[in-house]
Each structure stands twice: as C-alpha cells, then as structure tokens.
A and B are shown apart, each in its own frame.
Chain A
Amino acid sequence: MKAISVRDLVKKFGDLRAVDGISFDVRKGEIFGFLGPNGAGKTTTINILVTLMRPTSGEAYVAGYNVVEEPVKVRERIGIVFQDPSVDRNLTGWENLYIHGLIYGLRGEELRRRIEESLEFAELTKFKDVEVKNYSGGMIRRLEIARGLMHEPEILFLDEPTIGLDPQTRAKIWEYVERLRNEAGVTVFLTTHYIEEAERLCDRVAIIDHGRIVAIGSPDELKQGIGGDVIYVRTGDKSSLMRLVEELQEDGMVLRYRELDGVLALSVNNASRVIPGVFEVANRMGIRIEEIKYTQPSLSDVFLHYTGREIRDEEADWRESVRMRHRVR
C-alpha cells in the first residue's frame, strides 16, 4: 500500500486552477518533496491531503483512506507542520504539547512521557516552561515538528519547513527530518521552494508549476533526465584531443562536444559512468590525460529546463519578505 496516492486532483478557486490535475504516489518510508515556486499549488495540495480543503475533482488517499470520505481516519494518522506557526504563543512549549496530546487522545502517564520525549527530540527541555512567544523561529519549528510527531503519525506533512530560517537552523531542521525518517520510519511529505532542500532531503521530488507536476523522480534521475553532465578533459595537445573525441563519439558515449583552449567539453548523460570509458579509450590510444573534471546540473537547471524560468522569481522573493515580516511580528 502506498502512503499517499493522488489521482487527477483538481482544485479551483473561481477561475483559477490552483491544482490542475495532478497524480502521484508516495511510498511508505520515503521523503517525498514538492518543489516549486510560491503560488505553484503546493500548499493547496497539502491542505487537501490533510483534509482541510475539499478538492474540486479527483481522488486522494492518505494512509489508505479517502481524504473526502473518511477525513477523521486520515487525521488520526498524520502529523502536520504548517507553513506559518500554529502554536499558541501565549503558552509554554510544554503546555502546547500537553494540549496537542490531549486532542489526539493521549492521557495520564503516557501523555507526560511523550511530552518529555518530544521536548528532548526538539532539544527544548530546558525551555519547556518558557512562553513560545519568547522562542526563536528555529525553536518554534522544532517544537512544531516534535508536536507533529508526538502522536506517532504514519505520515508527516511539512509545508515549507525551513522558510525564513537562517542557514544553520535550516541545516538543523534537515537533520531532524532525516533522523525521524531513519529512526522512526515515518513517511515525510514536504513542500519547498529551496533547491538545496529538495536535493539534500528528498528521496523523490515532484517539480510543480502552475498547479501541474512537470517532472517527478529522484534528484539524480531528474538531473540525468535533462541529460546535462559535462566532462572537461585536458590533454597535452590539440590533435590528441581531436583523436580522442572521434573515438569516443564512435563508441556513442558523447552527445555533443566543444573544444576551447585545449580543453574538451563533453556533454554526456551520466558523467560517472562515462569517465571510466574516457580513461579506457585514452589508454588504448596512448593519450595521456592531464586533467579531468565534470559538473552535474542542479535541480535548479532541471526546473529551468521544464518550466523555462528560474524558481526564484522576483515575485516569490517579494512574497517571502512579506511573510518574514509577518512572522517576526
């Protein structure tokens, strides 16, 4: 059984198709990411999956239950960290966890034990009696992730888990997410518009734009899919370079090539597989390679390839700065 299964999901707001017919599956135990700019439909999709919104059409199953027909069954099996904080700022960390536990049916000793565990996981034990309004952004995020896990959900939803956080805090949150997947085996569904986040965390990524999934796969598959590794080779002289490239082309290993100042740039599908071949051919022909290196395309090249634009447009930056101001209030 899949952790999440979505078929032809559509959500319209008036004339706007915020989610425009998406289908995908999330396997149990994987970290699955939605990568796309703000306004791409990521949060709308999450809202439908966590039963806060009804789809216009299409079907979604979470933990095996239809989100429209059996929302309570779904709610019992998921944990959620929303994009904006949803803690009570006037209560302490401990009190927020206490209320959460009660709402999810925990009581007595069991409840108290889980609160302590959650505080420990979030490294907030020292601050458990401090009102949340005095927490930093990173502390609030950690508290929320721990809270989302407290009732031992099968699937954890993270909507832009590191938006507005500084790089160190972001790295810390990434560690948490990896830890909970590795140690607790929780399936994680996250959305992000940070390339590094998708690349670092996700087993599989769906690139979403204008409410549609334009590509889906592991970060490596996606990068290979646009066929963009480039190998740079330097040998002693130009004639040996030319002989080498002719031979390589005959073997069908090279898509395109360019020669510049005694350096050969080879476009290949998968550099890590081609490089040994390059050495082999050079060896056979008695050509000495003086230098070799390669670059891989990033997910941001993948995004550019499929959508024709950069993921971080000006509008997104503007919205994010507004959001940050909202959060620091």
Chain B
Amino acid sequence: MEGEREDEAQGEVIKMNERNIVYAMLYRQLKRYFRARSRVLGTIINPLMFFLFLGMGFSASMRGMSAAIGVDYLAFLAPGIAVMTAFSSSFIGGISVIFDKEFGFLKEVLVAPASRTYAIIGRALGDSITSALQSLLIIALMYVIVPSLRIEGLPFAIAICFITSLMFNSLGIAIASKMRSPEGFQLIVNVLIFPLIFLSGAFYPINNLPDVVKPIFYVNPLTYSVDLTRYFMTGISSLPIYLSLSALLLLTSIFTLLSARVFNRSTLD
C-alpha cells in the first residue's frame, strides 16, 4: 500500500468510525489476552524469578548497598521489575501484527472503511492495558513481599507502566510491520531486551556510575520509566522527575506516531 494514497484516503473524511475502530481493536486485544491464560502466566514468571533470585542474593550479600541507595535493595529492585514486566510483555506484543499478516486478519483491517491510524492506536491501547495489568499483578505481589513500599504511589506506578507499555508496544508494532517472520522479530526482541533492561538502572543505581557510561543510560527510554516508577513506589529517584516525565511522554508520542506511520504504509505482498 502506497503511503500517499492512504493519506489521501484519510483526508477523505472517515466519519463515524474513529471511536468504533479504536474500540473494536481494543476489544479484540483484550479478548485474545484473557483467552490465552498460559501467556498471562508466562510473562509474569520471568520477572518474578528475577525479583526473587536477584533480590534474595543481593539484599543478603550487599547490606552496604542499601545504605548507599537509601532503601532496602528489594524495595529498590521492585519498581525495576514492574517496568521490566510492562516493557517485555508490551514489546513482544508487536509480534501479533506478524501473525495477523500470516493468518489473514490484517486484510480485514486493511480493507475496512476506517482509519488505519486509529486501528493501530486501538490495538496499542489494548496491548498496553494488558501489559499494565501484568505489572499490576507483579507490583501487588511485591507490595506483599516488601511492606516498606509506598502504597500511595501505586496508581502512579501503574500509570507509568501503562505509558511504558504504550511506548514499547508501538515500537514493537513499527518493527513488526516491516517484518515477515515471527522468528526474526523474536530475535530482535531478544537482542534488545536485556541490554535495555540492564542499562536502565532497574537493577542498580546509576548515580555512582562513571560519567562515560551515563549517556548510554540517558538514551535508553526505560531509564526514565524505571526512575519514575521508583520515585512513586519508594520516594527515591536519580533524575529530576519532571525531566523523566517529559522524556517519557515525548518518546511515547514519537513511537506512537511512528507505528501509525509505518502501519499506514504497510503493504500487501
């Protein structure tokens, strides 16, 4: 599909349908999610293991670190794990675009008299809601394990996890729209997922790092998500929260627009 024509098509006044198609795609993603219960479990187990094994090991052997960062290591780690959950499940969620291509449902969307931009927004919203729900599940568990976490910060932490999901689901959709094989997409996700998590300050504080490596953290969108979530859950942060919030919202908008643009131009081959 040539992009210019779709732009024209959208200029052609798509009346009724924006709300409907957003809702339709959202409905679909949610239905699919709640039907695949094993997937729900699968995406939670990984972060939970990180939390337990990493947390147990470090909080026991590095008591000095707690003093340096101002909170217990488990409390420090909890927001990182929450963001990790949102990030990994939303990013991999882009793969459904490839399955839709392969199993044909994509055509149903492409020939509809409705805006593709809104279709992709609805889809990203649906995936992000499910990812945020997963984070909520993890966070709830962590609040039980680590009573020192601030309960009043919970809604804000979830909100940040939701925005993070929107950002990375959009990125996933943008990448997946360009690809044909689910395996290839999975490879890309696997290659990116660990560097992004480890270079985000999810597992250790970034304040004390040498200045040469700090820029790597600053270009990583996850850094801002982790820092904000940590601020709301524990009260400590490495960066000014308005800076983090602005960076997060800006990046999310950019990735959302990018995914809409790429999807608008996606072709039948």
Contact B12 A102 (CB under 8 A): no
Stretch from A81-89, A267-275, A290-298, A299-307 at the B interface:
A81-89
Contact B5 A71 (CB under 8 A): yes
Chain A nearest CB, measured from B46 CB (Å):
23
A103-B31 contact, Cβ under 8 Å, with A82-B107, A86-B107: no
Contact B35 A52 (CB under 8 A): no
Q: Which residues of B contact A72 (CB under 8 A)?
A: 9, 12, 14, 113
Using an 8 Å CB-CB cutoff, how does the interface string of B1-43 with A read, 1 for contact, 0 for none?
Answer: 1100100110010111100110111011001100110000000
Q: Which residues of B contact A11 (CB under 8 A)?
A: none
A47 contact from B5, B15, B105, B268, Cβ within 8 A: B268
Contact B21 A103 (CB under 8 A): yes
Q: Which residues of A contact B28 (CB under 8 A)?
A: 88, 91, 95, 99
A103 contact from B35, B107, B112, Cβ within 8 A: B112
Contact B109 A103 (CB under 8 A): yes
Contact A90 B32 (CB under 8 A): yes
Chain B CB within 8 A of A179 CB = no
Q: Which residues of A contact B9 (CB under 8 A)?
A: 71-72
User: Could you write out 25 A-B pairs with CB less than 8 Å apart?
Assistant: A50-B111, A52-B1, A69-B8, A71-B9, A75-B112, A80-B111, A82-B107, A85-B103, A85-B104, A87-B105, A87-B108, A88-B28, A88-B105, A90-B31, A90-B32, A91-B35, A95-B28, A95-B31, A98-B27, A102-B20, A103-B20, A103-B108, A103-B112, A103-B114, A105-B113
Residue in chain A with minimal CB distance to B24: A102
Residue in chain A with minimal CB distance to B28: A99
Q: Which residues of A contact B111 (CB under 8 A)?
A: 50-52, 75, 78, 80
CA distance A71 to B9 in the complex (A): 6
CA distance A86 to B27 in the complex (A): 17
Q: Which residues of B contact A82 (CB under 8 A)?
A: 104, 107
A99 contact from B24, B106, B110, Cβ within 8 A: B24
- B87-129 residues with Cβ-Cβ distance < 8 A to A are 103-114
| Highest count of chain A CB atoms <10 Å: which of B8, B106, B112 | B112
Chain A nearest CB, measured from B68 CB (Å):
48
Total inter-chain residue pairs, C-beta < 8 Å: 90
Using A76-B113, A87-B108 as known contacts, list a sample of 15 further A-B pairs with CB atoms less than 8 Å apart, ordered by residue number in A: A50-B111, A52-B268, A53-B1, A53-B268, A69-B8, A71-B5, A80-B107, A86-B104, A87-B105, A88-B105, A100-B108, A103-B21, A103-B114, A105-B15, A105-B114
- A56-100 residues with Cβ-Cβ distance < 8 A to B are 68-73, 75-76, 78, 80, 82, 84-91, 95, 98-100
A91 contact from B17, B25, B31, B114, Cβ within 8 A: B31
B interface secondary structure, majority: helix
Hey, which bits of chain A sit against chain B, CB under 8 A? 47, 50-54, 68-73, 75-76, 78, 80, 82, 84-91, 95, 98-100, 102-105, 107, 131
A102-B27 contact, Cβ under 8 Å, with A52-B1, A71-B9: yes
Q: Which residues of B contact A103 (CB under 8 A)?
A: 17, 20-21, 24, 108-109, 112, 114
Chain B nearest CB, measured from A4 CB (Å):
16
Q: Which residues of A contact B103 (CB under 8 A)?
A: 85, 88-89
Chain B nearest CB, measured from A156 CB (Å):
13
Contact B16 A68 (CB under 8 A): no
Q: Which residues of B contact A52 (CB under 8 A)?
A: 1, 107, 110-111, 268
Contact A91 B32 (CB under 8 A): yes
| Highest count of chain B CB atoms <10 Å: which of A52, A53, A98, A103 | A103
Q: Which residues of B contact A104 (CB under 8 A)?
A: 112-114
Residue in chain A with minimal CB distance to B15: A105
Residue in chain A with minimal CB distance to B6: A71
Q: Which residues of A contact B113 (CB under 8 A)?
A: 72, 75-76, 104-105
Residue in chain B with minimal CB distance to A99: B24
Q: Which residues of B contact A73 (CB under 8 A)?
A: 12
Contact B105 A86 (CB under 8 A): yes
Q: Which residues of B contact A69 (CB under 8 A)?
A: 8
Contact B36 A90 (CB under 8 A): yes
Contact B20 A105 (CB under 8 A): yes
CA distance A69 to B2 in the complex (A): 13
CA distance A86 to B105 in the complex (A): 4
B12 contact from A70, A80, A107, Cβ within 8 A: A70
